Amino acid sequence: MYYVTLLKEEVSSAITYALSKGFQIHPDAFKILERIDSKELQTIIKQIVREKAKQNLFLINQSDLKMFVESEVDENIENHHVIMFDPTRKVTSAEGIDGFTSLFSSRYSKLLKIMMQRAQSRKITPIANATDSKLKDEAYIAGLLMDRKIDRDVTKLLIDDPTGSLEVLVFNKEIQEIANSLLIDQFVMISIGNGKNGGFFAREIIVPDIPDHVSNRSKTESYAVLISDMHVGSRYFMEKEFTDFVSWLSSPDPVARKVRFVLVCGDIVDGIGIFPNQDKELLLMDIDQQMAKATELLDKIPKHIKVFIIPGNHDPGRRALPQPAIPEKHNMHLWNRENFFMLGNPSMLELNGVKILMFHGQSLDDVVGSTPGLSYAQPAKAMRALLKTRHLSPIYGKRTPIAPELEDFMVISEVPDIYHSGHIHVVDLEMYKGTLIVNSGAWQSQTPFQASVGINPTPGIAVIVNLATMKVFTKDFTEEQ
């Protein structure tokens, strides 16, 4: 045992343990034992001994240990972050009708400002003036779509601006297609003409949309990993796959070595009382137990990776949008970590210069539910529809609760390079006018509710973006690693 006595105490006791269980240690494995965190070594050896004994294998070799070796973090890879917007300290929530009025008036003026970048915006007439007089040839109105009726061959749009309301008829088939895909309460600009029997008809409908743009890039090759919807505490939470994902972040895999950011887009836990009879689907019946478990799992993410977490509709805290960060009392541990950032929903970040909009995505239910041609199978298309309205949750008073804030924080004022949502539990990627749209799936297998409404989730997959090239790919942790 001459060999052993030269080693650190923790190393020699780990070796003694393995030998006592009838194991041999390959000389190559010996060489890397000292490079493993000595505090963890005993646990690691015990785990390897247990696993290999089950398979009747009694030799520990280098490949068993490699993943536990602490490798140096490359300090040349940038990990710069700026939190550009976080609603946590901004939410006030005005009450009742006053709040609703100010929310919509803020929405109108923010979107009008975005629209001002278009040449046609110079021809905008206040609705009060449009109804007073005979129109000039090219008159535009701009406002929020309050209502839409489809009567046989005619679509009727009711538009509001701060000066009044106007009904616009759409006869043209092509324009009708646009009119019928608009989301209620979204901002639109419409070129109108005087109809034959009084009234107004639409010549053209313009939505705010985003401009074609070249996205910002990181100067050094670095990766952001996008995930969401773990639903810790649910019977359907895929703990093994999620743990494998977290271990991968510390592995010697060349991509993993360059990951500097992990973005978690809501539904961290399954919550309590979120839907009827939820308790039948829970393993952990207490919100703090659920958060503690989530914390324990996330805590294994190595310290050189920055983790940004926003809440979803299952997490503790306010339910109405915009949501402040998950309250500190539920997860003091994560709040106090240097590499963890607890943010609100939605939030905007800049990671190595790349602008990323994070929004859990509750409103996608209303978008899919009200737009012909959209489905849960392709959430990126529904996300694109929101991007075109330059608003994350326009539809007021349906399934998505929206707080009557004085300012509308859900307007997409700045064009993101990456637009990240979850909620639908289906991984879907799309490039739209220079913005990478990502729906990051889930770590929860199909629930009875999802089965009953025909939602087929694609859980256990991480979305990985190279911030230097904007190339994106997925890594499936349901496959044998």
Lateral strand order in the sheet of 340-342:
340-342, 306-310, 259-265, 223-227, 461-466, 472-476
Q: Which is nearer to ligand D5M, 164 or 401 (CB)?
A: 401
Q: Which is nearer to Fe ion, 170 or 442 (CB)?
A: 442
Binding of ligand D5M at residue 272 (CB under 6 A)?
A: no
Choices 57-65, 80-88, 299-307, 423-431 (CB under 6 A): range interacting with ligand D5M: 423-431
Q: Are 339 and 305 in contact (CB under 8 A)?
A: yes
CA angle 280, 363, 335 (to 5 degrees): 70
Q: State residue 80 phi and psi, 5-degree precision.
A: -85, 130
Per-position x/- string for 388-427, each x denoting binding to Zn ion as judged by CB under 5 A, each - no binding: -----------------------------------x----
Helix (H, G, I), strand (E, B) or coil at 1: coil
Q: Which is nearer to Fe ion, 311 or 324 (CB)?
A: 311
Residue 376 DSSP code: T
The single residue among 423, 428, 436, 464 that binds ligand D5M, judged by CB under 6 A, is 423
E strand map for 346-405 = 347-351, 354-358
Rounded CA separation 38/42 (Å): 8
Rounded CA separation 24/278 (Å): 50
Q: Which residues contact residue 377 at a Cβ distance below 8 angstroms, ignoring those fewer than 6 apart?
A: 426, 456
The listed partner (Zn ion, Fe ion, ligand D5M, none) that binds 315, CB under 5 to 8 Å by sort, is none
The listed partner (Zn ion, ligand D5M, Fe ion, none) that binds 424, CB under 5 to 8 Å by sort, is ligand D5M
How many of the chain's residues bind Fe ion (CB under 5 A)? Answer: 2
CA nearest 170: which of 185, 188, 148? Answer: 148
Binding of Zn ion at residue 312 (CB under 5 A)?
A: yes
3-state helix, strand, coil in the chain (%, to 5): 30, 25, 45
**Contacts to Zn ion from residues 213-252, by CB under 5 A:** none
Q: Is 438 exposed, middle or buried (0-12, 13-18, 19+ CB in 10 A)?
A: buried
Q: How far is the CB of 440 from Fe ion (least distance, A)?
A: 11
* Residue closest to Zn ion (Cβ): 423
**Contacts to Zn ion from residues 260-299, by CB under 5 A:** 267
The single residue among 10, 86, 229, 365 that binds Fe ion, judged by CB under 5 A, is 229
Q: Which is nearer to ligand D5M, 367 or 424 (CB)?
A: 424
Q: How far is residue 407 from each of residues 106, 375, 419, 429, measured CA to CA in Å?
A: 5, 31, 22, 31
Q: Is 24 exposed, middle or buried (0-12, 13-18, 19+ CB in 10 A)?
A: exposed
Report which residue type is found at 449: F
Q: Are 305 and 249 in contact (CB under 8 A)?
A: yes
Residue 105 DSSP code: H
Q: Which residues contact residue 43 at a Cβ distance below 8 angstroms, ignoring those fewer than 6 apart?
A: none
Q: Which residues contact residue 356 at a Cβ distance below 8 angstroms, ignoring those fewer than 6 apart?
A: 224, 263, 348, 349, 350, 416, 417, 418, 419, 420
Residue 137 tokens read as: 């040839």
Binding of Zn ion at residue 313 (CB under 5 A)?
A: yes
Q: Which is nearer to Zn ion, 131 or 375 (CB)?
A: 375
Per-position x/- string for 259-298, each x denoting binding to Fe ion as judged by CB under 5 A, each - no binding: --------x-------------------------------
Choices 42-50, 139-147, 227-235, 459-467 (CB under 5 A): range interacting with Fe ion: 227-235
Residue 20 tokens read as: 């006592």
The single residue among 450, 466, 478, 481 that binds ligand D5M, judged by CB under 6 A, is 450
Q: How far is the CB of 231 from Fe ion (least distance, A)?
A: 6
The single residue among 86, 161, 267, 366 that binds ligand D5M, judged by CB under 6 A, is 267
Q: Are 188 and 389 in contact (CB under 8 A)?
A: no
Binding of ligand D5M at residue 315 (CB under 6 A)?
A: no
Per-position x/- string for 391-410, each x denoting binding to ligand D5M as judged by CB under 6 A, each - no binding: --------x-----------
How many of the chain's residues bind Zn ion (CB under 5 A)? Answer: 4
Q: How far is the CB of 99 from Fe ion (least distance, A)?
A: 28
Choices 105-113, 120-128, 191-199, 421-429 (CB under 6 A): range interacting with ligand D5M: 421-429
Choices 41-49, 298-306, 402-410, 418-426 (CB under 6 A): range interacting with ligand D5M: 418-426
- Positions in the binding site for Fe ion (CB under 5 A): 229, 267
- Which residues would be at the binding site for Zn ion (CB under 5 A)? 267, 312-313, 423
Residues at the contact surface with ligand D5M, assessed by CB under 6 A: 229, 267, 313-314, 365, 376, 399, 423-425, 450, 453, 455
